[in-house]
A and B are shown apart, each in its own frame.
Chain A
Amino acid sequence: MDAISRVAGRAIPFGAKNIDTDIIISSKWLKTITREGLGKGAFETIRAEPGNVFDDPAYADAPILIAGDNFGCGSSREHAAWAILDMGIRAVIAPSYSDIFSGNAVKNGILPIVLPQEAVDRLMEVARDGHNIDVDLETQTVTTPFQDRFAFEIDPFRKQCLIGGLDEVALTLERQEAIGTYENRRAAAQDWVAAGTNI
């Protein structure tokens, strides 16, 4: 994944709550065997509505999406993160996310920022008025041209992965010895687990 430390530019003022991953990318788009090209299927039912924010030229190529509570709830489909990334989004700002979606986002170089509703409301206003928003992952702040400054929390490991563009599989493969030690210990205590489909 591409490393990420700062995202600056226009933001899509979406804001709807409980947006499930079926809305982000519906099941007909899940039949792909690659990760690419899903942006055109993103938010399809919403894009069918006239005047929707996603097709508003004012927010074309915006790298930030402002969303509502419980964004990305429902299915575990990583296609939701792939679709958003393919739209050019590198940071999402919302009061909360589903656990699976926020994990999928980070693994694809998308920064899921959690801010209180009041801060999200203020950023929606700034975005609607056509101003840029600046996200700095190093300092963990979101700022606007109007002296707004919102600090956000992020898990240190996630931050490290995003800034370094790290491949988690490669990181864990460096720990193979520890995994082997665990497997041996486990096999001694609970041999019945290890059989799996070989029984």
Chain B
Amino acid sequence: MASRPRTLYEKIWDDHVVETRDDGTALVYIDRHLVHEVTSPQAFEALRLSGRTVRRPELTLAVPDHNLPTTARRNATGGKIPIDDPQSAAQLAALEMNAPEFGIRYIGDADAEQGIVHVVGPEQGFSLPGTTIVCGDSHTACHGGLGALAFGIGTSEVEHVLATQTLLLQRSKAMEVRVEGLPGPGVTAKDLILHIIGEIGAAGGTGHVIEYRGAVFEQMSVEQRLTVCNMSIEAGARAGLIAPDETTFAYLKGRPMAPKGEAWDRALAYWKTLHTDPGAEFDTSVVIDAATIAPTVTWGTSPEDVVPISGHVPAPESFADEGKREAAAKSLDYMGLTPGTAMKDVAVENIFIGSCTNSRIEDLRAAAAVLKGRSKADNVRWAIVVPGSGLVKRQAEEEGLDRIFLDAGFEWREPGCSACLGMNPDKIPANERCASTSNRNFVGRQGPGARTHLLSPAMAAAAAVTGRLTDVRELN
């Protein structure tokens, strides 16, 4: 076929345009919709008030995750343990009621499959390559790790998708982030994406869909790719993509909601066409040399505020932009950091291993490998591991990882979003630091006054051992 070479993004986009309006706005079909309890109640209520129904209930999957406590949810006889916060309880109850009322499959707190929506979608094979996936959550970008066009939406759009299975969208620009070469040992997918965000900036990807390209991504596992794409939004991009390949197909085969039998073969034939054609043009290209990337941590209150672990807290004057100088000064004040301090001298009181970015089995294995035979430092007041789903938790327990965490002084929790944003009781106290595998270091994100340092699971484990930010390569 002699068609114009297209990017992966263009191919998926073209296959989902129902029609284009005269003004250029496209009506785009949505194949998969994930719903959680925080951003959906108003959408369901709007449907009820207007007497509207859900067009294709089987294309939506509802899973509670943000508000659920990560302590035990059921007593010995299987009865629900009441949730203290009445607002959290009401929001969870609303989803539990709305899902069946509108005919939507619901995976609840008592189900082994429950977890963070962005862990559950790929794990169940609900998220598939070449599909459009949305959720009222900006980290929906995550599913791009499977080669899906996945992005976060607001609650009005949740309602729009429920009622019509479509969204009215403008096509984004295509950005290529090409990483050349391979990073050194001890540099993980999380370090890579933190470094990339530092290069692009928190707004650098605005208006774009990023495709991550290069050998490093080809060699990554699916879980690592999910970590990379997850944080695309922290660079301003609504979605991130990595072309599906044999690694993707092997990951999906046999998952509960993935195609089976001949349908699998037909899907596979299509998925194999999903790559950027040679000669296709990107609107923006960013090239990064992998050799320059070290284990990376954040120092400030924007995910773009990154520095190699060997580096120092920057001085606000070191930034060229006046706005950034002001922002950096404010960030350092909030973070309680002095310019010039070595990052390795920053002591931490809390460790959080979890979130849709880093709570999958490989993440827990990486952290456990560092913690095995070691204990958390005395100054680490609170260290928790929150698996991304009940299935991740079970797998980890089968591998004995829970024992390693418990022996090291960590708490081993039930799955959910937890201290990534502190909507449940898991919060970091004011003026305390947290070495966190989550995705946002915003002011107050992990609790009012909490000071977040983003890093990889291995680096979080290393920080637990020494009680300060630590280069995991030196610990080993």
Contact = CB atoms under 8 A, between A and B. Distances in A.
Interface of A: 16-18, 20, 22-23, 26-28, 30-35, 45, 68-70, 73-78, 81, 96-100, 103-104, 107-108, 155-157, 160, 168-169, 171-173, 175-176, 178-179, 182-183, 186, 190-199
A83 B357 CA distance: 28
Contact of A76 (B152, B170, B266): B152
B163 A192 contact: no
Contacts of A104: 154-156
B423 interface: yes
A22 B440 contact: yes
A36 to B, nearest CB: 10
Given A169-B164, A192-B266, A34 B25 contact: no
B263 A192 contact: yes
A22 to B, nearest CB: 4
B214 interface: no
A35 B421 contact: no
Contacts of B259: 192, 195, 199
A34 B316 CA distance: 41
Interface of B: 18-19, 21, 23-25, 27, 29, 31-32, 38-39, 41-42, 45-46, 50, 52, 55-56, 58-61, 66-67, 85, 87-88, 90-91, 94, 105, 126, 128, 131, 136-138, 140, 152-157, 159-160, 163-166, 168, 170, 172, 202-203, 206-207, 233-234, 236, 238, 256-260, 263-264, 266-267, 270, 302, 323-324, 327, 421-423, 440, 442-445, 448
Nearest to A161: B168
Contact of B154 (A16, A20, A96, A107): A107
A197 B58 contact: yes
A26 B444 contact: yes
A124 to B, nearest CB: 13
A192 B264 contact: yes
Given A73-B203, A157-B25, A193 B128 contact: yes
A103 B171 CA distance: 13
Contacts of A103: 153-154, 157
Contact of B443 (A45, A73, A179): A45
B320 to A, nearest CB: 14
A107 B164 CA distance: 16
A183 B164 CA distance: 11
Contacts of A22: 421, 440, 442-445
A75 B203 contact: no
A69 B327 CA distance: 12
Contacts of A32: 87, 91
B138 A76 contact: yes
Contacts of A77: 38-39, 154
Contacts of A183: 29, 165
Contacts of B32: 196
Contact of A33 (B94, B136, B234): B94
Contacts of A195: 58, 257, 259, 263
Contacts of A69: 203, 323
Given A17-B327, A30-B423, A76-B39, A186 B156 contact: no
A178 B238 contact: no
Given A178-B27, A179-B18, A157 B168 contact: yes
A190 B157 CA distance: 25
Nearest to B134: A76
Contact of B164 (A81, A179, A192, A197): A179
A190 B270 contact: yes
Contacts of A20: 302, 440, 442
A114 to B, nearest CB: 11
Nearest to B59: A196
Given A22-B445, A70-B206, A108-B156, A175 B27 contact: yes
A34 B43 CA distance: 9
A74 B443 CA distance: 12
Nearest to B445: A22
A30 B138 CA distance: 15
Nearest to B203: A70
Contacts of A107: 154, 156-157
B137 A96 contact: no
B29 A182 contact: yes
B323 A17 contact: yes
Contacts of B21: 157
Given A30-B423, A32-B87, A18 B207 contact: no
